[in-house]
């Protein structure tokens, strides 16, 4: 039982966690000079590069500022020893990527996070102000606290010919010694990362370091536009795959289904089950229904939508192009006049975008009235907010060690669920009784005359289908709606299949396989496997047959008064409330008889 559960879990949970989004990881590094003031530019960069993780410096945030990102987690360290917003570092990670903060014992402005790609890597965002003295031991102490492999990204305000500067300062010499005496690699290629608007000069003060094992896997590139800052964004492409949870399994759009076409295509009556066992019949029935569904029911792509911008207008596009053009001219010819033109173009682009947002919101609000359906209102709100639901799997720990990769996390959960459902938890006396009971043949030679052993009829099948709810399908992707829209002749064939299973007393193997979804228990630590409970999505064909059997046995037990009148579990119209009321009544009657 335990081994079979582990096999089933490994077969179906792992593909659920590893929906096929196997792409290179994209990291963003940027001194944004104000996160909130440049929020639109940050969102645009995140979307354009499909960023897995972003390291931001000089965020200018304080403790009253919440998370301005709906699709990203934010880990940050704000500057607390100042009366006005300044400094600060932050790391933002996709909610669909498991991540966990790393505790750092340092006085430096730094924050670190572990993110789970194909392996767990550590990402650190750091900002070293030019006026602060940083000793070599402080920087080395920070690096030693980062679990390898790591990326250390930030604005270090250091000059050295090692990374493209024309001069060398004290901090640059200190970092040179660190590079020469430790196993840390520099990723900079010499491209400038900072523009001094006062002197119209360029320099390289934003640095990227990594562990040696990552050096060959990282492509380092500077963006051509500083946007709303005087630092250029740096894009790092990591050759490791992103095992992201950022895609959804394709779903049937049943509201747009052509059920008449489906009924014709899913013609089970034309199939011949002669000489087939239950496994073969189940495969034929499943393939026929799914092929009919593919021809008559549209499906979702499974890809998560890009962040929508319903407010983006032609004027926004025009002013953005003018800003980029002005920056290109200034970069080639860095003069004061060209700098002024660029700043004017940037201000105009920002003003145009803000006006477009306000106008879009006014139009949306004015379109709402008492007759607007609530669904339309909420759909429009979601489009404006750019919301979508994404399953967020945190990093799991086993005996203090992090699980490396999503596949290992799935196996860890599978082992936990296997252990919970294992027969090893039963007492020896119960195991003996269980073993004897399982060896008994439930259907005897003289039991055919019992009503509960008779073949099923169409009334029982229709009753079972009528009592179903629109729940998620199992691994075979067959839904209850598909079964309900089968023709009468096809239902007769389906009933014949169910009766074959009933007579042989053997279930198809595919009915025993489930897509297992781990759900976090309320108030539990998300990093511990024991904090999750499984939800198993099994075949709707199997659940329909199960409902038919259950209805028949329940009727027999109730008709022959085999159930105790005090039993409320698995009884229609009864629940634990009945027992609570009965207990309360007994207590009150006892008080009255005192």
Cα–Cα distances (Å) from 569 to 469, 574, 579, in that order, read 20, 7, 10
Residues 84 and 207 in one domain: yes
Residues 409 and 332 in one domain: no
Residues 297 and 331 in one domain: no
Q: Which pLDDT score is estimated for 29?
A: 97
55-59, 249-253, 489-493: the lowest-pLDDT one = 249-253
248 inside domain: no
- Domain residues for the domain of 130 are 20-243
202 inside domain: yes
3 inside domain: no
Q: Which pLDDT score is estimated for 421?
A: 84
Distance CA 180, CA 184 (A): 8
Higher pLDDT, 445 or 500: 500
Q: Which pLDDT score is estimated for 305?
A: 59
Residues 540 and 471 in one domain: yes
For the chain, percent of residues with pLDDT exceeding 70: 89
Model pTM greater than 0.75?
A: no
13 inside domain: no
Residues 107 and 146 in one domain: yes
Distance CA 409, CA 416 (A): 11
Q: Which pLDDT score is estimated for 380?
A: 67
Residues 504 and 525 in one domain: yes
Nearest to 78 by CA among 109, 38, 114, 101: 109
Does the pLDDT of residue 9 top 60, yes or no? no
Does the pLDDT of residue 62 top 90, yes or no? no
E strand or H helix at 155: strand 150-155
Q: With contact defined as beta carbons under 8 Å apart, do 176 and 148 qualify?
A: no
Residues 82 and 104 in one domain: yes
390 inside domain: no
Q: With contact defined as beta carbons under 8 Å apart, do 327 and 338 qualify?
A: no
On average, the pLDDT of the chain sits at 85
- 506: tokens are 């053997």
Which pLDDT tens digit goes with each residue over 331-367?
888 888 888 998 899 899 889 988 988 888 788 777 7
Single residue among 192, 220, 243 that ends a domain in this structure:
243
State the total domains in the chain.
Answer: 4
Q: With contact defined as beta carbons under 8 Å apart, do 112 and 143 qualify?
A: no
- Contacts (Cβ under 8 Å, ≥6 apart) of 220: 187, 188, 189, 208, 234, 235, 236
The CATH number of the domain where 198 resides is what? 3.60.10.10
143 inside domain: yes
5 inside domain: no
Q: Helix 136-144 and helix 170-181: axis angle, to 10°?
A: 40
Residue 113: CA atoms inside 13 Å, Cβ hemisphere, count? 28
| Cα angle: 56, vertex 58, 60; to 5 degrees | 115
Residues 112 and 176 in one domain: yes
Q: Which pLDDT score is estimated for 362?
A: 83
Which pLDDT tens digit goes with each residue over 197-248?
888 888 999 999 999 999 988 999 999 888 889 999 999 998 755 555 556 6
Residues 552 and 569 in one domain: no
* Eight-state DSSP code of residue 472: P
Does the pLDDT of residue 60 top 60, yes or no? yes
* Eight-state DSSP code of residue 334: -
**pLDDT mean over 362-383:** 74
Residues 223 and 291 in one domain: no
Residues 50 and 140 in one domain: yes
Q: Which pLDDT score is estimated for 151?
A: 96
Residues 161 and 209 in one domain: yes
Phi, psi of 209, deg, nearest 5: -120, 155
371 inside domain: yes
Q: What is the DSSP string of 340-408?
A: HHHHHHHHHHHHHHHHHHHHHHHHHHHT--TTS-HHHHHHHHHHHHT------PPPPEETTEE--SHHH
Single residue among 208, 223, 243 that ends a domain in this structure:
243
Distance CA 562, CA 399 (A): 48
* Eight-state DSSP code of residue 230: S
Phi, psi of 561, deg, nearest 5: 50, 45
């Amino acid at each position: 039982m335990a081994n079979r559960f582990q096999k089933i879990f490994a077969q179906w949970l792992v593909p659920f966690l590893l929906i096929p989004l196997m792409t290179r990881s994209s990291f963003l590094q940027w001194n944004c000079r104000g996160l909130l003031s440049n929020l639109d530019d940050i969102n645009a960069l995140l979307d354009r590069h499909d960023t897995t993780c972003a390291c931001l410096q000089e965020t200018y945030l304080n403790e009253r500022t919440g998370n301005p990102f709906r699709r990203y987690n934010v880990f940050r360290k704000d500057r607390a020893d100042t009366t006005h917003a300044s400094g600060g570092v932050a790391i933002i990670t996709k909610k669909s990527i498991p991540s966990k903060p790393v505790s750092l014992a340092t006085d430096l402005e730094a924050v670190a996070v572990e993110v789970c790609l194909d392996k767990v890597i550590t990402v650190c965002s750091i900002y070293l102000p030019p006026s602060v003295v940083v000793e070599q031991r402080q920087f080395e102490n920070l690096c030693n606290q980062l679990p390898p492999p790591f990326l250390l990204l930030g604005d270090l305000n250091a000059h050295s010919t090692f990374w493209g500067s024309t001069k060398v300062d004290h901090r640059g010499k200190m970092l040179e010694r660190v590079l020469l005496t430790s196993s840390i690699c520099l990723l900079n290629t010499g491209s400038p990362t900072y523009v001094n608007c006062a002197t119209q000069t360029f320099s390289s003060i934003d640095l990227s370091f990594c562990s040696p094992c990552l050096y060959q896997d990282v492509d380092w590139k500077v963006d051509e536009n500083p946007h709303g800052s005087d630092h250029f964004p740096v894009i790092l492409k990591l050759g490791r795959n992103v095992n992201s949870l950022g895609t959804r399994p394709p779903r049937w759009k049943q509201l747009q289904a052509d059920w008449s076409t489906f009924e014709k295509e899913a013609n089970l009556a034309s199939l011949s089950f002669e000489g087939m066992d239950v496994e073969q019949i189940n495969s034929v029935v499943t393939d026929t229904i799914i092929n009919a569904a593919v021809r008559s029911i549209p499906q979702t792509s499974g890809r998560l939508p890009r962040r929508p911008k319903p407010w983006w207008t032609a004027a926004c596009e025009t002013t953005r192009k003018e800003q980029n053009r002005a920056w290109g001219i200034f970069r080639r010819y860095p003069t004061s006049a060209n700098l002024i033109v660029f700043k004017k173009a940037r201000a105009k682009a920002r003003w145009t975008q803000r006006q477009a947002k306000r106008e879009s919101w006014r139009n949306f609000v004015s379109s709402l009235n008492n007759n607007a359906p609530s669904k339309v209102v909420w759909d429009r709100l979601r489009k404006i907010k750019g919301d979508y639901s994404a399953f967020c799997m945190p990093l799991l720990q086993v005996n203090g060690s992090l699980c490396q990769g999503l596949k290992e996390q799935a196996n860890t959960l599978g082992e936990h669920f296997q252990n919970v459902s294992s027969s090893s938890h039963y007492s020896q006396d119960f195991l003996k009784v269980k073993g004897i009971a399982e060896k008994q043949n439930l259907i005897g030679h003289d039991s055919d005359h019992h009503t509960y052993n008779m073949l099923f009829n169409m009334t029982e099948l229709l009753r079972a289908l009528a009592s179903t709810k629109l729940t998620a399908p199992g691994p075979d992707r067959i839904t209850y709606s598909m079964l309900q829209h089968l023709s009468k002749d096809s239902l007769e064939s389906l009933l014949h299949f169910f009766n074959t299973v009933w007579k042989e007393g053997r279930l198809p193997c595919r009915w025993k396989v489930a897509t297992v979804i781990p759900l976090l228990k309320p108030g539990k630590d998300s990093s511990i496997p024991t904090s999750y409970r499984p939800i198993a999505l099994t075949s709707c064909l199997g659940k329909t047959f199960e409902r038919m059997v259950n209805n028949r046995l329940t009727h027999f037990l109730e008709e022959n008064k085999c159930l105790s009148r005090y039993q409320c579990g698995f009884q229609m119209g009864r629940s634990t409330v009945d027992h609570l009321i009965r207990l309360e009544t007994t207590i009150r009657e006892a008080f009255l008889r005192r």
